[in-house]
Amino acid sequence: MQKTGVALLGLGVVGSGTYKIITEQREKIKNIYGVDLSVEHILEKDKTKAQALGIDLSIVSTDIQNILNNDDIKIVAEFFGGTEPAKTFLIKCLLKGKSVVTSNKELVCKYFGELEAAAAKGKAGLYFEASCVGGVPIIRTLTDAMQANDIKEIKGIINGTTNYILSKMADEGVGYAEALATAQKLGYAEADPTADTEGYDASYKLSILSSLAYNKHVPLTEIYREGINKITAEDINFGKEFGMTLKLLGISKNSDGKIEARVHPAFIDNNHPLASVKGSFNAVHLLGNNVGDIMLYGRGAGDLPTGSAIVSDIVFAAGKKTHRRFDFIKQKFNAKDFVSDFTSEYYIRMKVTDKAGTLSKISGIFGKFGVSITTVLQKPPTDNSGIVSIIFITHVTKEKSISSAIDSIGKLDGVNEISNVIRVER
């Protein structure tokens, strides 16, 4: 049995986890899958990380040429994160015919076309299962298990940090700032949490998943994005009164060849399977035209869950004589293929002066813009200010209609504040 040489770019949390899995599972992988994995070189500046893992320092360096010039290395796994130098290094590896495995969702999302072109030219493979939803095999499901289906919809909790924050707010009644601080203390959120809390991380993943699901490049520029920083415990509690749970969702739909893709907070019914996904766990719900509903659930991050997906891709790549090509990435972008004015139900909370005629004026503006209301809930005043909270739930309507109506309502005398507008997904 011939060895498959592997190089690791970085020994951070996931890189170290991957090395541990390769080392511990080497004999099992060899005996069951007929692949003998051998880590031949590691790119890492901090050699103490290698020493902590008992790695021979003679295979550790900071020079990519040590990997490019080593013909025994067939597969390169990248753990740098960000776009540079990862992009430059990986394109060089692909052009040299070395297959690439990565968990770098930002890199794959933004430079899918360039990476695939280099892979095709070098007759190498590009594998990125770990880029989306950690150890959950969502990409392999989309590319290797759904051939008999047209995928109509993806709806998922694809960022563990925000799911932890929203779960803590819902379960313990704490505010956003306190929940975020706890997430940071536990290591679920970075010191600068922007990528997670503003929806960037989820948008990268949704771009990748939607492109694979619909066999059409869904670029980041076509994904509507909204984070969770405006969510309050008050909104979550009001949602509970309507039998709903709040999640940051990645949603994409393919209808009659038109694709919509969006990342934003959304209320879902408590009986929806995604509503029970708590803490840092992730889940993705797929709808196929023949198979119907499928949901995958598991840990979306961490050294061993993500390392598990990385090693799975390494074994998968090692067993391939030819590699899958993502030809759809070559298609010319056409904005007409994407929906800009999507539809949804909406939860709208506002503070108004409790006086005759205010609700009638608000209802009139909703009617003017074609927004139909299913439910109105007025909460009693909490002090002597005469200000009350009113919550509206709408029928399905267009995003632009809601936006126009809210702009006009906000200018009414007696409307003190449009507190929040949150989409409702059924």
3-state secondary structure 69-128: CCCCEEEEEECCCCCCCHHHHHHHHHHCCCEEEECCHHHHHHHHHHHHHHHHHHCCCEEC
Is 253 one of the annotated active-site residues of the chain?
no
- Token pair recorded at residue 277: 């996904």
Residues 6+ apart with CB under 8 A from 254: 150, 151, 152, 153, 213, 214
**How much of the chain is helix, strand and coil, in % rounded to 5?**
40, 25, 30
415 closest CA partner among 377, 379, 388: 388
Q: Report the alpha-carbon distance of residue 128 to residue 130 in Å, rounded.
A: 5
Which residues, other chains included, contact 305 with Cβ-Cβ below 8 Å and sequence gap of 6+?
134, 135, 298, 299
Task: Give the rounded distance of the alpha carbon of 262 from its chain centre.
Answer: 11
For residue 277, report the phi and psi dihedrals to the nearest 5 degrees.
Answer: -80, 115
Two structure tokens written together for 179: 């929940």
Query: Tokens 């994160």 label which residue?
Result: 81
Q: Which residues contact 339 (CB under 8 A, 6 or more apart)?
A: 253, 258, 259, 260
Neighbours of 19 (CB within 10 A): 25
Residue of 87, 105, 168, 205 marked active site: 205
Report the C-alpha gap between 91 and 87 in whole angstroms: 6
Strand ranges for 222-300 from DSSP E: 224-225, 244-255, 258-269, 281-288, 292-299
Positions marked active-site: 205
